[in-house]
Amino acid sequence: MSYIILFAGLIATLALSLIMRRRSAIRDIAGPPSPSWIFGGLGVLFLLQGDHQQLRAALNVGFTAAAVRQYQPIFEKVAQTISEKLEYSEVASVDMCPLLSVAAFDAISEVVLGCPTGNLDADFVKINLEVMHLSSTQSASQILADALTGLLPKWLRRQAVNLPTKSLKLIRTQTSLATKEGRRAVREKIEAKRQGLDPNDDVFSLLLNSEDSRDSLSSEDIAGQTSIIMIAGGETTANTLAFGLVELARDPELQDSLRAEIHAVLGTGRHNIAYDNMPLLNAFIKEALRMFPTVPFPERVAVQDTIIPLSEEITLNTGQRTDRIPVRKGQLVLLGIASYQRLESLWGDDADKFRPSRWLDGTVHQGEAIGPYANLLSFLGGPHTCLGWRFAVMEMQVILCELLGKFSFSLPVDHVLRIRFAATLQPVDATGNKGTPLCVKRIL
Considering the complex, state which of residue 232 and residue 265 has its C-beta at the smaller distance from ligand HEM: 232
**How do beta strands 306-315 and 332-334 pair?**
unpaired
Considering the complex, state which of residue 33 and residue 199 has its C-beta at the smaller distance from ligand HEM: 33
Annotated binding site for heme: 386
Considering the complex, state which of residue 113 and residue 249 has its C-beta at the smaller distance from ligand HEM: 113
Q: Give me the DSSP letters along 7-40.
A: HHHHHHHHHHHHHHH-TTHHHHT----TTHHHH-
| Part of the chain binding ligand HEM (CB under 6 A), chosen from 19-27, 253-261, 355-363, 380-388 | 380-388
Residue 44 in contact with ligand HEM, rule: CB under 6 A: yes
The binder of ligand HEM chosen from 109, 179, 226, 240 (CB under 6 A): 240
DSSP state of 311: E
Residue 149 in contact with ligand HEM, rule: CB under 6 A: no
270 close to 1: Cβ distance less than 8 angstroms: no
Residue 33 in contact with ligand HEM, rule: CB under 6 A: yes
Beta bridge partners of 440: 409
79 close to 111: Cβ distance less than 8 angstroms: no
The binder of ligand HEM chosen from 223, 380, 401, 403 (CB under 6 A): 380
| Part of the chain binding ligand HEM (CB under 6 A), chosen from 81-89, 141-149, 230-238, 248-256 | 230-238
Annotated binding site: 386
Considering the complex, state which of residue 112 and residue 408 has its C-beta at the smaller distance from ligand HEM: 112
Q: If DSSP codes are grouped into helix, strand and coil, which group holds residue 326?
A: strand
Q: If DSSP codes are grouped into helix, strand and coil, which group holds residue 429?
A: coil
Q: If DSSP codes are grouped into helix, strand and coil, which group holds residue 415?
A: coil
Residue 294 in contact with ligand HEM, rule: CB under 6 A: yes
Residue 404 in contact with ligand HEM, rule: CB under 6 A: no
Residue span 50-69 as binding mask against ligand HEM, x where in contact by CB under 6 A, dash where not: ------x-------------
Rounded Cα distance between 140 and 104, Å, is: 27
Beta bridge partners of 15: none
| Angle, vertex CA 317, rays to CA 316 and CA 320, nearest 5 | 45
Rounded Cα distance between 113 and 276, Å, is: 25
For the bound state, the minimum distance from the C-beta of residue 72 to ligand HEM, rounded and expressed in Å, comes to 14
For the bound state, the minimum distance from the C-beta of residue 54 to ligand HEM, rounded and expressed in Å, comes to 11
| Part of the chain binding ligand HEM (CB under 6 A), chosen from 216-224, 338-346, 373-381, 408-416 | 373-381
Tell me how many residues contact ligand HEM (CB under 6 A). 24
Rounded Cα distance between 224 and 398, Å, is: 28
For the bound state, the minimum distance from the C-beta of residue 411 to ligand HEM, rounded and expressed in Å, comes to 23
Residue 379 in contact with ligand HEM, rule: CB under 6 A: yes
Residue 378 in contact with ligand HEM, rule: CB under 6 A: yes
For the bound state, the minimum distance from the C-beta of residue 439 to ligand HEM, rounded and expressed in Å, comes to 25
Residue 426 in contact with ligand HEM, rule: CB under 6 A: no
| Part of the chain binding ligand HEM (CB under 6 A), chosen from 67-75, 77-85, 131-139, 383-391 | 383-391
Considering the complex, state which of residue 392 and residue 417 has its C-beta at the smaller distance from ligand HEM: 392
Rounded Cα distance between 139 and 39, Å, is: 21
The binder of ligand HEM chosen from 233, 356, 427, 435 (CB under 6 A): 233
The binder of ligand HEM chosen from 391, 427, 429, 436 (CB under 6 A): 391
Considering the complex, state which of residue 15 and residue 295 has its C-beta at the smaller distance from ligand HEM: 295
Q: Give me the DSSP letters along 106-167.
A: HHHIIIIIS--GGGS-HHHHHHHHHHHHHHHH--HHHHHHHHHHHTS-HHHHHHHTT---HH
**How do beta strands 332-334 and 321-327 pair?**
unpaired
The binder of ligand HEM chosen from 174, 205, 236, 397 (CB under 6 A): 236
| CA atoms 147, 148, 151, 152: torsion sign | negative
For the bound state, the minimum distance from the C-beta of residue 384 to ligand HEM, rounded and expressed in Å, comes to 4
Specify whether the backbone of 242 is left (phi greater than 0), alpha (psi in -120 to 50) or beta.
alpha
162, burial (CB in 10 Å: exposed 0-12, middle 13-18, buried 19+): exposed
Give Rg (Cα) of the chain: 22
For the bound state, the minimum distance from the C-beta of residue 378 to ligand HEM, rounded and expressed in Å, comes to 5
Residue type, 201: D
Residues lying near ligand HEM in the complex (CB under 6 A): 33, 44-45, 56, 108, 228-229, 232-233, 236-237, 240, 294-295, 298, 378-380, 384, 386-388, 391-392
